[in-house]
Chain A
Amino acid sequence: MTAYARENGIEVADPAPDTVRLSHSLYLAHSTASDDFSKICAAGRLLSATQLALRGGKASKPGSVKVLLGTADSVFFYVAPFRYPNTGCGLLFARSLEEHRMDDGVATPFDSGGLVHVLVRPNPAEPVRDFLSRHELPIPDYREYLRISLATLFDKPVDYIEGSQPRWSGPIGLMGGDRRRWTHEVRIPREVWIRTGDLQAVFAPISRVASDPEIGRLFEWCKSEGRDRISFNTARGDDFEALRRECVKYIYSKLQ
């Protein structure tokens, strides 16, 4: 990043305390469609595609993105507000989750899922798995790179939360896709239990909390354990936009 900044004449100032705090405390976000979320609540844990298949779920197809990248046995998180479209419910985990899984978790400064079909790599001849492993960072150390990215590439560090494009594309050289191209991802192998001290907040539409017993029970658990619960109306059926908006609002409220 330092070389990139020098080459592009970007002034790298000492990051403001807010930037340090933001990069240090950003939550790990995992969102799913309501149907899957109900199953996750019932199981009490997030399972990788491989673990789901081992428990009788559908096996990943040989040509699927996760199989091609070798990430099928991972649980995925964005280090950002919820960014996966077509989802309406979500979980935010505190940074403490990374500290508990620093031996086997890994991060990348982009959404790995976009590498196969969406994002354009600087050298398309390089095998995609090689590109991925070349950019993997240990957790939670990757937050130092995140801090420098927020301070260097964006007009304002909060642009990262809002999903506004960075002014500078950065040294990785990926092109195409959407905001997930520069959203940091954390992958944790196999499974992540939900009802633990690492759970920061749960998000779901009011109708789902009221009508789905499993989602309702997770909200009840959060209430009794003092975890944050965010329920919201979903006018016009646009669950994802409502979920994203509520998450951004929540993150801002915690940054105050």
Chain B
Amino acid sequence: MGSPWDMNDLEIIGYAEVLRETMLPSVVPPVFRLKADHQRALLPPYSFNAGFVCNATEVPAQELDALRDAHEITLFDDALPAQPGYELWVDQGFAYHYERRDQADANLGRIAAASIGQAEAALKAWNLEEAERLAGVAISADDRRVEPLAIKAAIRRREGNATGESLMADLAAPVLAERLFSLLVDGYYRAVGRVAQDVPVRRLHSPMWRMAEQRLKAA
């Protein structure tokens, strides 16, 4: 651990993660190096405070290749200057973006919303594989959204995988009560085209269902 580093003295040469397609888009922690001394690199874990990188682990630049070979980091071909209040994220095409945090949040939020819409359309078209993939994109873009989990739960129910369905409810539990989540899943399951015998259609139009929808819109 060293003293805090001024972001203005650093540049970004990669990120401390190795991503596969199912993990995209994703916010990633940058790997920094000193602008004035390319032999000194900084790795997470670290924290940001008032334009400084604090408690980073400093490693010699020659160790970076070993870390890349060990699948711990990804290195860029070119460096970009570090900036306070900026976020590094990687899109679905493995292209990286470095932009203001609010801008990054907005872009990721847009990807999540669009992917949910596309996943719902894929569900209606019975393209479950595509719906599953798009729900994965949405949850990667914004892991606080519960709709992608509900879409996946509906697919698990369609597959007869009760444990998998229940697992999705567990993942959504911090955001949405199990009962409301279940109603959301019922709605998506209905879209898949096979409403379970024990789920009356009128339940989908119940006050509880409307409440679930309102909570999601407000989230």
Contacts and interface: CB of A to CB of B under 8 A. Distances in A.
A85 B57 contact: yes
Nearest to A38: B20
Contact of B139 (A206, A219, A220, A244): A206
A229 B166 CA distance: 13
20 contacts: A35-B19, A58-B69, A61-B66, A85-B44, A86-B17, A86-B73, A205-B143, A206-B149, A206-B171, A207-B26, A207-B140, A211-B23, A211-B136, A212-B23, A233-B144, A236-B87, A237-B88, A238-B29, A241-B44, A244-B45
A256 interface: no
Interface string A217-256: 0011001100001010110111111001000000000000
Contact of B166 (A33, A58, A223): A223
Interface in B62-77: 63, 66-67, 69, 71-73
A86 B43 contact: yes
Contacts, number: 105
Contacts of A33: 17-18, 71-72
A35 B18 contact: yes
Given A85-B43, A86-B73, A178 B143 contact: no
Contacts of B127: none
A34 B18 CA distance: 8
Q: Which 7 A-B pairs have the closest CB atoms?
A: A237-B27, A211-B136, A86-B16, A207-B143, A220-B163, A86-B72, A207-B139
A216 interface: yes
B167 A240 contact: no
Contacts of B22: 211-212
- In this complex, the member of A33, A86, A239 whose beta carbon has the largest number of chain B beta carbons within 10 angstroms is A86
Contacts of A58: 69
B45 A216 contact: no
A64 interface: yes
Given A86-B72, A220-B163, A231 B139 contact: no
Contacts of A240: 29, 44-45
Nearest to B55: A178
Nearest to A213: B22
A88 B17 CA distance: 9
Contacts of A229: 167, 170
B166 A237 contact: no
Given A58-B69, A237-B26, A237-B28, A210 B45 contact: no
Interface in A172-212: 178, 205-212
Interface residues of B, number: 44
A86 B44 contact: yes
- In this complex, the member of A36, A211, A238 whose beta carbon has the largest number of chain B beta carbons within 10 angstroms is A211
Given A64-B66, A178-B1, A220 B164 contact: yes
B148 interface: yes
Given A35-B20, A86-B17, A210-B148, A223 B71 contact: no
- In this complex, the member of B28, B69, B163, B174 whose beta carbon has the largest number of chain A beta carbons within 10 angstroms is B163
Given A64-B66, A220-B164, A220-B167, A208 B18 contact: no
B69 A241 contact: no
A76 B77 CA distance: 32
B71 A35 contact: yes
Given A33-B17, A35-B71, A234-B143, A210 B168 contact: yes
Contacts of B170: 223, 229, 231
